[in-house]
């Protein structure tokens, strides 16, 4: 990161600690961070050296719009002046985070990474 540049997960951290969101948002943020970490780990332990430029371009094309969508939805939640006007923005945030999680899982699997979401209520130990 460059000096003065915001960390890529800063918005996710803001969502996670906000009193404006509900448990579904925390779950989705956790899923997104988990899948991102699993993809990073798979890339670092891959037998293929480094990440190809084509993979980086594909990531940017598929994932960047999803990240921008949840960031915009979060800004709308933050800008809503009251609970009544915040409710539809929270629904938009839920949809955007869900799309980001699903998009990241799809991308990871396309790259051959075995990723798993840890859902609330999973009975596995």
pLDDT at 47: 60
How far apart, in whole angstroms, are the C-alpha atoms of residue 27 and residue 24?
A: 5
Between the CA of residue 109 and those of 32, 83, 104, what are the distances in Å?
14, 38, 9
Of 19, 98, 21, 20, whose CA–CA distance to 66 is shortest? 98
Contact 109, 41 (CB under 8 A): no
pLDDT tens series, the chain, 125 aa: 567 777 778 999 999 999 999 999 999 999 999 999 888 888 777 665 566 778 888 989 999 999 999 999 999 999 999 999 999 999 999 999 999 999 999 999 998 888 888 765 554 43
Contact 20, 86 (CB under 8 A): yes
Q: pTM for the full model?
A: 0.86
């Amino acid at each position: 990161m460059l000096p003065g540049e915001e960390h890529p997960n800063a918005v996710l951290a803001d969502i996670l600690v906000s009193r404006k969101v509900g448990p579904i948002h925390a779950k989705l943020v956790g899923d997104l961070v988990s899948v991102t970490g699993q993809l990073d780990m798979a890339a670092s332990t891959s037998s293929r050296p480094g990440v190809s430029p084509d993979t980086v371009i594909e990531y940017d094309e598929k994932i960047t719009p999803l990240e921008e969508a949840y960031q915009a939805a979060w800004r709308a939640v933050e800008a809503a002046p009251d609970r009544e006007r915040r409710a539809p923005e929270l629904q938009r945030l839920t949809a955007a985070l869900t799309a980001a999680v699903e998009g990241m899982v799809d991308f990871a699997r396309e790259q051959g990474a075995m990723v798993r979401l840890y859902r609330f209520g999973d009975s596995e130990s």
